[in-house]
Amino acid sequence: MKEVLILYYSHTGAVREMARLVARGVEGVPGCAARVRTVPRVFPAGHALAPAAGSPEPDAGPPPAELKDLEECIGIALGSPTRFGNMAAPMKHFWDSSGELWLKGRLAGKPAAVFTSTATLHGGQETTLVSMMLPLLHHGMIIVGIPNTEPDLTTTASGGTPYGASHHGGGAGGRPITEPERKLCIVLGRRLAEIALKLAG
Distance CA 200, CA 188 (A): 18
DSSP string, 100-125: HHHHHTTTTT-EEEEEEEESSTTSSH
Least Å distance, CB 14 to ligand FMN, is 3
* Residue 163: burial class (beta carbons within 10 Å; 0-12, 13-18, 19+): buried
- Taking the complex as a whole, the smallest distance from the CB of residue 157 to ligand FMN amounts, in Å, to 16
Report DSSP state, residue 171: G
Mark 78-107 with x for binding to ligand FMN (rule: CB under 6 A) and - for no binding: ---xxxxx----------------------
Q: Does residue 11 belong to the site contacting ligand FMN (CB under 6 A)? A: yes
When binding is defined by CB under 6 A, the residue of 5, 6, 7, 14 that contacts ligand FMN is: 14
Which residues between 114 and 153 bind ligand FMN (CB under 6 A)?
A: 117-120, 123-124
Total residues contacting ligand FMN by CB under 6 A comes to 20
Q: Give dist(CA 80, CA 6) in Å, integer.
A: 11
Nearest approach, Cβ of 42 to ligand FMN (angstroms)?
A: 12
For residues 167 and 159, give the distance between their C-alpha atoms in angstroms, rounded to a whole number.
Answer: 5
- Based on CB atoms, which residue is closest to ligand FMN, 125 or 191? 125
Q: Which residues bind ligand FMN (CB under 6 A)?
A: 10-16, 81-85, 117-120, 123-124, 169, 173
